[in-house]
A and B are shown apart, each in its own frame.
Chain A
Amino acid sequence: MKNKKKILINIIFLITFTLFNSCKYGSDNLFYTGASVNERTKDGITFLEDNPVQEKLKYNVLIFSDTHFGVKTKTPPYQKLYEYLDKIKETSDYPAFAIALGDLTDTSSTEEFEQYDDFIQTLENKYNLKTYNIIGNHDCYLSGWDNWKKYCSPHTSFYKFETSNFSYYFLDTGTGTIGKNQLNHLKKVMQKDSKPKIICSHYPLYTSTLLFCLSDTYERNELISLFQKSKAKIVLSGHIHRNETTNLGNFFQQTITSFTYYHEFGILKIDEKNSKVEFEKVDLK
């Protein structure tokens, strides 16, 4: 009888440990509902008044992803990035603004968000690069959402802004799904927006491997259909820590290598006049 009890306790422990322990953040995440995607996006999309490129029709955008500030085994190569920016400062290649594709911190602690904020403040104040952030899974563990709202501009996870000819959309896929609220809001807004679109999401719509994309293919297919109808040019994603270009019908998906793990980032070359978008990888190693 005692043995049976022991076995039962071991089995329960094993199931709890293996099923609910993801990315070393423990089973308590299972019961934490404060950061549900439906809750985060309940007010719909935020329209930003920003136009970071003003009247420019040809410009570059700095894209980086998965900075994982706070990860113990790696250091983000921000010094190398600053050197790169110093080098191109006086040229036409200098980016007009920056986009961070999520997983900005490793465990979403306040300390890690403060480190990330220092980096972003340097980009903004010293290099005149405003950064538009999207939320990743590592940013919304437990109370991460509160920290994200506090430290990451524009302090909302579902938003858009427009330039002269393009629209930029920033989606919240931080918990592995877009959620019903966000999908419905997005459908309404995109159907009224005739401009070509650049869409950013932490989770990719598709990967060539077994894991790491949106696993609910119902919402994934709804999104691809919506993007195909809405003149999407490119979907930019992180999460998988490597570059992968995928044709999704009449638009492309580009995933970006992790900035901290592989010392790479990307430059998006935009030609709004000719409605062209090109991606170029930059290796800092």
Chain B
Amino acid sequence: MKKKFLFFAFLFSGILFASPFDFSIKIPSVSVRNDFSYSIVNNAKFSGFYPSSRISLDFDTLNFNLGYQLVNQNSDFTIQAAYGPKILDIMKLQLAFTYNFLNSLTFSENNFVFGFVFSVKPKDIFKFSMNTSFLLKDSIIKFTNFHIPNFSYEFGLYFDWALSKAFETFFHIETASFFNHYLFCSLIFSTGLKYNIIKEFSLGGTISATYIDFFTVSPYHSEVSVNTFIQFNIN
């Protein structure tokens, strides 16, 4: 109890009396990641093999992600930006914006996501992040050019571990992924392993399962996929 109190007192004293906020933008590290995924359990959107690519720019307090995914006859384009200070050198609180455009044969979707990302990295071996966001979805049915607006909520919990210099692992629970924005409350569970062969080049694999409607029904797994990825890092 005493330890907890001291921990929180330490946190708040830092915020109140020191200068804990660091807004500085640093020289970016750039990474390019190519994923090759296979859907084991298929839903309406996902089946078979599908590729995706993503470029990330990390300026420390400012982050950009840009990605593209091709699934059968559907294409997804996503751009994401987040900006916010580092606090006490171990935490980050960022304001984030994501725009996703999905184009299919029969409809298109514009997803606008506004929210906050909080992350804490107390040691180099572990990082915890969470996000909470509002989703504005505009679906356009092409046959009649009919718009369907939806307002929803997204959240995610992200646990990342560096097992060694070479190996990293993670466990994520989220209601929406970078390319897929479901209405509340479907959950995507994912876990995987990343192997840093050299500093500039990594290989990895992920398994993810999407469960439909965790709020009212017995959870139903609607999609399961596995993927492998290669990542190039430029620092």
Contact = CB atoms under 8 A, between A and B. Distances in A.
A180 B212 contact: no
14 contacts: A22-B215, A22-B217, A22-B219, A29-B219, A30-B219, A206-B150, A210-B153, A212-B215, A216-B43, A217-B139, A219-B45, A222-B104, A224-B148, A225-B143
The interface size bin for chain B is: 35 or more
Nearest to B151: A210
Interface in B131-153: 137, 139, 141-144, 146, 148, 150-153
Contacts of B95: none
B31 interface: no
Contacts of A22: 214-219
Interface residues of A, number: 46
B30 interface: no
B218 A206 contact: no
B58 interface: no
B213 interface: yes
Interface of A: 19-20, 22-23, 25, 29-30, 32-33, 36-37, 137, 140-142, 174-180, 183, 206, 210-222, 224-226, 228-229, 239, 248-250
A157 to B, nearest CB: 14
Given A37-B220, A177-B212, A249 B141 contact: yes
B144 A222 contact: no
B220 A211 contact: no
Contact of A249 (B104, B144, B187, B214): B144
Contact of A248 (B47, B148, B219): B148
Given A228-B141, A228-B144, A248-B148, A218 B104 contact: yes
B217 A137 contact: yes
Interface in B191-221: 211-221
Interface of B: 42-45, 47, 74, 102, 104, 106-107, 109, 137, 139, 141-144, 146, 148, 150-153, 173, 181-187, 211-222
A221 B215 contact: no
Nearest to A218: B45
Contacts of B218: 22-23, 25, 29-30, 32, 137, 140-142, 175
A218 B44 contact: yes
A175 B216 contact: no
Most chain B CB within 10 A, of A183, A213, A225, is at: A225
A232 to B, nearest CB: 12
A214 B144 CA distance: 21
Given A30-B219, A221-B148, A229-B143, A216 B47 contact: no
Nearest to B106: A225
Contacts of B220: 36-37, 175-177
B222 A222 contact: no
Contacts of B187: 19
A25 B216 CA distance: 10
Nearest to A184: B44
Contact of B184 (A33, A211, A225): A211
A225 B107 contact: yes
Contacts of B141: 221, 224-225, 228, 249
A274 to B, nearest CB: 22
A180 B216 contact: no
A211 B217 CA distance: 12
Given A22-B217, A174-B217, A218-B74, 14 more contacts: A20-B219, A29-B219, A137-B217, A137-B218, A175-B218, A210-B183, A212-B215, A217-B139, A217-B150, A218-B45, A221-B104, A222-B44, A225-B107, A226-B106
A111 to B, nearest CB: 19
Contacts of B221: 33
A239 B104 CA distance: 28
Contact of B216 (A137, A183, A224): A137
B148 A206 contact: yes
Most chain A CB within 10 A, of B102, B185, B220, is at: B220
Contact of B222 (A216, A220, A226): A216
A216 B186 contact: yes
Nearest to A247: B146
A180 B144 contact: no
Contacts of B139: 217, 220-221
